Amino acid sequence: MSESQISDAIQAAIAENPVILFMKGTPDAPACGFSARTVAVLQSLDRPFAAVDILPDPRIRQELSALSGWPTIPQLFVDGELVGGCDIVMEMYQSGELHELLGLDATAGEQAGEEEPAPGAPLTIENRL
């Protein structure tokens, strides 16, 4: 697969999936703490999302960053637009902005916010590896 084909596949994935996370690893087995934390936040909102593991081919990360203008992973896209990485997703989650962006009731975030230590747990485990 050429870089052009990879870029086309990334663009198609972003266009076809209302919420998509480009991450290291998979939602069931994140390969870095930032990806794990972002997945945990999305899962706590109980909103379906697609995920793409960028690790199998370094060109995926290269082409993704060229398209988005964002150098780090994970990268969350909603309705075809880059939201940002882990820090931005966390800030938006805590403020209720992420709920609004995903069409969810922000009061649901208050309940999810009470459970926020759970999303942090994979980060602790990941940092010890």
More confident residue, 77 or 106: 77
If you average pLDDT over residues 100-112, what whole number do you get?
68
* pLDDT recorded at residue 2: 84
H/E/C letters for each residue in the chain? Answer: CCHHHHHHHHHHHHHHCCEEEEECEECCEECCHHHHHHHHHHHHCCCCCEEEECCCCHHHHHHHHHHHCCCCCCEEEECCEEEECHHHHHHHHHHCHHHHHCCCCHHHHHHHHHCCHHHHHHHHHHHCC
What pLDDT does residue 34 have? 96
The whole-number pLDDT of residue 47 equals 86
Q: What value does the mean pLDDT of the chain take?
A: 84
pLDDT tens for each residue of 2-52 = 888 899 999 999 999 999 999 999 999 999 999 999 999 999 998 899 999
Q: What is the CATH number of domain 3-113?
A: 3.40.30.10
Q: What is the pLDDT of residue 1?
A: 80
